[in-house]
Structure 1
Amino acid sequence: MAERESGAAEIDTVCFDLDDTLCRYSQRGGDVLEQAFQKAGISPLWTVEDYYGRYRDYLETSTDADDLRRRCFADLAVDAGHDRKAGHAVAETFSEVRDQEAVELLPGAREVLDALAAECRLGLITNGAPGMQRTKLEATGLDDRFETVVCAGYDTAPKPAAEPFERALEDLDSSADRTVYVGNSLSSDVAGARAAGLVSVWIPAADVATEPPEPAPTYRLEALRELSTPPW
């Protein structure tokens, strides 16, 4: 990836995505959905990839994570030729099976945050309901690590809109040219950081193809622990 231009402002602020950047569920999403269908007594009508692909569409219209799934699963059920009640039933059992505290830090997360906190102000910008995301932070012991937590889709428009990034910069009394955003998603994290003018760091999952990413991040790292020695 391209180096930053000489004379660029010194980085003094780093913001992170949460899910699959700093932590992940210890329950696989596909397993939770499979159990939810079984518990509801309904044959599988959609995949977890179908759910994740439409998740962002409901962020601004739902009141919390349970309401989001209820709306999303109802539409997925209709798309599969069933009535909305089937989607509502699966959403209810999904919430019963999914343990929001069953999360684990990704390797190097705590060490990276400790290293960066010595030099930078830290923020979190995540697409997700506040109650759900704060539960994850508490379960992983990260609830006191960030000076601001922006739950995009609820506090602001969802990523990749520029608004959640701008809200975090305002809270941190920083500016885009002094801020790095770290995430795992090209479509939400890198695109959103670019929209707001931030430097972006992309850390893809291990199984992501290596062809040129689009949109292109400022930096691509292979593992979170590489941030202990910042590339900028």
Structure 2
Amino acid sequence: MTMTITALTLDLDDTLWPVMPTLLRAEAVLQDWLRAHAPATAAAFDVPTLQRLRGEVGRRHPALAHDLTALRLITLREALAAAGDDPALAEPAFTVFFAERQRVQWYGDVRPALERLAARFPLLALSNGNAELAATGLAPYFVGAVSARSCGVAKPAVRIFEAACAELRCTAGQVMHVGDDWTLDVVGARRAGLHTAWIRRPEAALHRGPASADADDAPAGLHLHLDDLLVLADALGA
């Protein structure tokens, strides 16, 4: 069945790097910037308070659930306004956060595995997050990217997987999606007709999915349950 796979889509956050340390560092850098440029906001909104506000913003703007950039900008504008600072500072504040958010630390298997996989298959990034290939150093391995923000809908919606297949000029049955989240990555991709590889890294603090990798309730197709991307490269003969 691996002979039918002609392209791969890969999730980014928590599949190629641990995302929580990246976000916590970016939040800390943002707080430093706010203390220097909007001290009233920094005093009123520490990281947990900003996170709670962002959750409230998300609940008030469900149509923007796919656009994390928009939600963060709205959150910053509201926090700045509430503290009496200039809401126009939201854009430069987000720029500082976003630059730090791109400074990711790849898992150790990622570079050698992507070198092997990219030599065999076209690779497309498929993410609900707002990491950018060029800024994270991944661009040389990928032919492109489809994000929830660019597509207008987030995983596990079938439409984002269909958009990825269209970008690759492949049918769903020719594509394998690789990701760490059972619902967003595995269930979503299989409902769209893609093959799947579920990456459950032993070092990850949280495995988002069932204890079993059973996917019998999904459409027919190849489903792999793997510890890292090098094992995937081996399994696909890359």
Q: TM-score scaled by structure 1?
A: 0.70
Contact 2:15 2:179 in 1 (8 A): yes
Amino acid corresponding to residue 175 of structure 2 in structure 1:
T
Query: Which consecutive residues of structure 2, in runs of 5 or more, have no partner in the other structure?
Result: 36-41
Query: For residues 141 and 43 of structure 1, do their structure 2 counterparts lie closer, same or farther at Cα, with a shift above 3 Å needed?
Result: closer
CA distance in structure 2 between the partners assigned to 1:187 and 1:211 by the alignment: 9
Aligned to 1:29: 23
Partner of 2:72: 69
Q: CA deviation at 1:215?
A: 8.1
2:82 matched residue in structure 1: 85
Aligned to 1:11: 5
Structure 1 counterpart of 2:120? 119
Query: In the TM superposition, what whole-angstrom CA distance separates every residue of 1:8-40 from its partner, at most 9, and x where no partner exists?
Result: 862111110112212345954235446656731
Summarize deviations over 1:37-63 as a string: whole Å, max 9, x none: 673112545485996896995344x5x
Q: Is the 8 A contact 2:22 2:104 kept in 1?
A: no
Specify which of 220, 226, 233 is matched with residue 221 of structure 1.
226
Aligned-residue Cα RMSD (Å) equals: 3.9
> CA shift at 1:198, angstroms?
0.9
* 1:146 equivalent in structure 2: 142
How big is the shift at 1:115? 1.2
1:184 is displaced (CA, Å) by 1.4
The answer to whether residue 192 in structure 2 is matched with residue 207 in structure 1 is no
- Aligned partner letter, 2:183: S
Matches within 5 A, 1:38-117: 39=35, 40-42=42-44, 44=46, 45-46=48-49, 57=62, 58-60=64-66, 62=67, 65=69, 67-71=70-74, 85=82, 93=93, 96-97=96-97, 99-117=100-118
How many aligned positions are there?
212
Which residue in the other structure is 1:3 paired with? none
Q: Which of 217-226 and 204-213 deviates more? A: 204-213
What displacement does 1:117 show? 2.3
Q: In 2, are the aligned partners of 1:111 and 1:225 still within 8 Å (CA)?
A: yes
Aligned partner of 2:39 in structure 1 is none
Specify every segment of 5 or more residues in structure 1 that has no aligned partner in the other structure, as ranges: 1-6, 78-82
2-side partners of 1:100 and 1:43: how far apart? 19
- Give 2:44's aligned amino acid: I
* Residue 188 (structure 1) aligned to one of 161, 184, 192: 184
TM-score, length basis structure 2: 0.68
CA contact (8 A) 1:187 1:215 kept: no
Q: Is the 8 A contact 1:12 1:121 kept in 2?
A: yes
Instruction: Tell me: CA distance 1:26–1:184, structure 2 relative to 1, closer, same or farther (3 Å).
Output: closer
Give the fraction of aligned pairs with identical amino acids, expressed as a percent: 26
Contact 1:19 1:126 survives alignment (8 Å): yes
The CA distance in 2 between the partners of 1:49 and 1:178, in whole Å, is 41
The answer as to whether partners of 1:59 and 1:154 remain within 8 angstroms in 2 is no
